[in-house]
Amino acid sequence: MTTTKKMVVAGALMIAFVFSSGTEKARAQESQSSSTSGSTGANSAGSSSTKSAEPRAPIPSSAYRLDYSINELEDGKKINTRRYSVNVNENDSNELKIGTRVPVEAKQGEVEYIDVGTKIDGRTQTAHDGQLKVFVHAEMSSFAMPEQADGHDQHPVIRQLRIGGSTVVVLDKPMLMGVVDDPNSKRQFQLELTVTKLR
């Protein structure tokens, strides 16, 4: 092989080597770029899903204080008033219970307990027109007087009064929810409610 031919062959091999190296380098750069963009896309997708998964802030609801007054009247004259207060959220309910659990032997060797006292359930509800309504149910129980017991000596005699009602709320103003007469006396019981907005 002549010197000229050797130089041509060597030059061709060098060009082929340079071209091959450039191609591999270009492929490596493309692969790295693709990997980087894919990773970025995954991160952005993850970020998007994370944002969409974040819980929304709860809508704050109003809170109210329910002030109950149970008025006891005799011959039209107020002789006693008992007051109770409880807080309740908008469109929620709350219960107030005060009293005594009295053991009663229903059957031989079997004892049951009867709740004697005052229980009041209150619930608020916002109507479609935006007005606030309140629903109240009150139960009052006590031991009957000896003259009202009808000779029942073995078991205590309990008298019960129940008042229930609902109305559209007028804030900061006493509202008469119900009235009931005591059938065993000349007394009358009234349930008043005052609603105050707390927030």
User: E-strand spans in the chain?
Assistant: 63-74, 77-89, 93-107, 110-126, 132-143, 158-168, 175-181, 187-197
Is residue 99 domain-shared with residue 7, that is, in the same domain?
A: no
Question: Domain residues for 122?
Answer: 63-197
- The residues of the chain scoring below 70 in pLDDT are 1-60, 145-155
3-state secondary structure of 79: strand
pLDDT in the model for residue 108: 80
The Cα–Cα gap between 10 and 6 comes to 6
Paired tokens of 56 = 């929304």
Is residue 43 domain-shared with residue 80, that is, in the same domain?
A: no
Cβ atoms of 147 and 159 within 8 Å: the answer is no
Is residue 116 domain-shared with residue 40, that is, in the same domain?
A: no
Is residue 50 domain-shared with residue 76, that is, in the same domain?
A: no
pLDDT in the model for residue 138: 96
pLDDT in the model for residue 19: 45
Is residue 92 domain-shared with residue 163, that is, in the same domain?
A: yes
Number of separate domains in the chain: 2
pLDDT in the model for residue 8: 45
Residues 6+ apart with CB under 8 A from 37: none
Is residue 6 domain-shared with residue 96, that is, in the same domain?
A: no
pTM beyond cutoff 0.75: no
Domain boundary among 11, 30, 54: 54
Is residue 29 domain-shared with residue 72, that is, in the same domain?
A: no
- Residue 191, judged by CB atoms within 10 A of its CB (0-12, 13-18, 19+), counts as buried
pLDDT in the model for residue 42: 46
pLDDT in the model for residue 156: 73
